[in-house]
Structure 1
């Protein structure tokens, strides 16, 4: 499967449509490219946690805003961020 490229905005405005596209992905090793994420909120982190609950996540790139938000929320380890 091709890597999932996360959008620049990973927030409450984007999360529902992204989840409708990704909800059928399960029990796979997913490669995620989060290098272009500029804005992330709790809804975006919840989306990533849901993906991670059903899949093994492998990060190809992680932006500083994504790293910082996950760290502040205490979920960086759960998301297996590098």
Structure 2
């Protein structure tokens, strides 16, 4: 299970990083950057044994999937002036 969880977070991080919109000031770029940062923090916690793979899977898989779905939507920010 440890390997599956670690590989899932690594795959998520790499797929989010491989887009040219990562550093653009659009919602997709912001969400991609946030997802990369979030996955990186989880990977660091797993490496330091501060978080078990079981708890990472239970607590953080839904959040990662929600972020991934938001990125795929490709909507713009809702600007209010």
When the two structures are superposed, what TM-score results if normalisation uses the length of structure 1?
0.28
The structure number with the bigger radius of gyration is 2
When the two structures are superposed, what TM-score results if normalisation uses the length of structure 2?
0.28
| Structure 1 or 2: more strand by fraction | 1
| Structure 1 or 2: more helix by fraction | 2
